Amino acid sequence: MNELMRRLLFLPPQASGFARDFDYLHYAVITVSMLGVLAVALALLWFSFKYRRRTQTTDPARPRPEPLTHAQEFGTAFGLLALFVGFWCFGVRQYAVMQRVPPGGLLVYVTAKQWMWSFDYANGNRTNETLYVPTGRTVELAMTSRDVIHSFYVPAFRIKKDVIPGRTTSVWFSAVRPGVYPIFCAEYCGLDHSVMRGRVVALTPNEFAERFERTPRAPGGATHPLAEAELGGNGELTSLAARGERVAAARGCLRCHTLDGTPHLGPSWARLYGHEVPLESGAPVVADAAYLTESMMEPLAKVHRGFSPIMPTYRGILQPAETAALVELIRSLADAPIQPTAPLVSADAPAVTLPTALDGGIAP
Ligand code: CUA
């Protein structure tokens, strides 16, 4: 039945864990709508036959339709509303599944630009146009754009999400079987929008580990066949977090943030990722890729409680690749040991006061 409906509606293969559930809702909405259209069409035909005009003059014997009672009117309206609310409830449940990323997945950083996709992996690999993933494992994509708004669309996985400059949006999926699935850009982004394509190559976990996840070594200058990666001085691939440390030093982040849990002018990056951040205003947020990127681009939007709002914006300064490297660095410190002398900054810690030398603002 599933296969029949899928073919009838020209849907792509169901290649992700939630694709089938999404399609079931799709089938239900389509079927109910089609049955509704059919019922209206049949009623139209029947009534036009039953109440047709038989003579030129008014026919006193011509049957008159009975008006609906109030109960019938309310019943119809209530039935339609219940149907709509029912669809909505299923849709909201599926939306919630998509929004909640299961922990412990593989995180890949996606950068969109006119007119291509590139993918950065934590171990330092980078690929253009082709995203390699293992099957049966949660893959989370932290996506940003270098120029205009794009939209990451993989029909076979039933995922589509806007990719926005200066922000990080995320989607997740888990590929159910090995294969090659096309990626499209689903937001008009300029001249070559229609050819801004890529592909997801889903490999078995063994194949993925064998061919892609293992850190490639390049003693004779030979790089990993799948990666156009940055190699360190010793010929080994530089991990994304290590790149993040270089970016943090070069961009001056480490003047205010520490990596070992010691509170400084800004919150330490140790044990930050995935943890709740108490805010100056309102409810706490979880420090994920989206929050961290927002804090770099719009530092005053959600200020960590207990810290002065002194961070300058890095919008237009940090490249997406640098943002990804910094997020990965902070993520790599999610379970870092805290210096014994460094108390965790708690919600009721006193605000850190600025040394006067920095009052003129901090150069990025
Ligand atoms: Cu990128 Cu359309």
Q: Is 185 in the pocket of ligand 1 (CB under 6 A)?
A: yes
Map the chain to HEC letters.
CHHHHHHHCCCCCCCECCHHHHHHHHHHHHHHHHHHHHHHHHHHHHHHHHCCCCCCCCCCCCCCCCCCCHHHHHHHHHHHHHHHHHHHHHHHHHHHHHHCCCCCCEEEEEEEECCEEEEEECCCCEEECEEEEECCCCEEEEEEECCCCEEEEEHHHCEEEEECECCCEEEEECECCCEEEEEEECCCCCCCHHHCCEEEEEECHHHHHHHHHCCCECCCCCCCCCCCCCECCCCEECCHHHHHHHHHHHCCHHHCCCCCCCCCCCCCCCCCCCCEECECCCCCEECCHHHHHHHHHCCCCCCECCCCCCCCCCCCCCCHHHHHHHHHHHHHCCCCCCCCCCCCCCCCCCCCCCCHHHCCCCCC
pLDDT of amino acid 303: 85
Hey, where are the domains in the chain? 2-44+70-99, 106-213, 225-359
Centre of ligand 1 to C-alpha 192, Å, is: 8
Residue having the nearest C-alpha atom to atom 1 of ligand 1: 150
Q: Is 189 in the pocket of ligand 1 (CB under 6 A)?
A: yes
Centre of ligand 1 to C-alpha 298, Å, is: 25
Centre of ligand 1 to C-alpha 169, Å, is: 16
| CATH class held by domain 106-213 | mainly beta
pLDDT of amino acid 58: 60
pLDDT of amino acid 214: 60
pLDDT of amino acid 223: 44
Which atom of ligand 1 is nearest to 114's Cα?
Answer: 1
Q: Is 193 in the pocket of ligand 1 (CB under 6 A)?
A: yes
pLDDT of amino acid 176: 93
Per-residue pLDDT of the chain in tens (364 residues, 90 and over written 9): 888 888 888 988 888 988 888 999 999 999 999 999 999 999 999 989 888 877 666 666 666 667 888 888 899 899 989 988 999 999 999 999 888 888 778 889 999 998 899 998 888 788 888 899 999 999 999 999 888 999 999 999 999 999 998 888 889 999 999 999 999 999 999 899 999 999 999 999 888 888 776 655 444 434 444 444 454 445 556 778 888 888 888 888 888 888 887 778 888 888 888 888 888 888 888 888 888 888 888 888 888 888 888 888 888 888 888 888 888 888 888 887 776 554 444 444 444 444 433 333 344 4
Centre of ligand 1 to C-alpha 171, Å, is: 17
Q: Is 183 in the pocket of ligand 1 (CB under 6 A)?
A: no
Which atom of ligand 1 is nearest to 187's Cα?
Answer: 2
Q: Is 187 in the pocket of ligand 1 (CB under 6 A)?
A: yes
CATH number for the region 225-359 comes to: 1.10.760.10
Centre of ligand 1 to C-alpha 164, Å, is: 11
Which atom of ligand 1 is nearest to 194's Cα?
Answer: 2
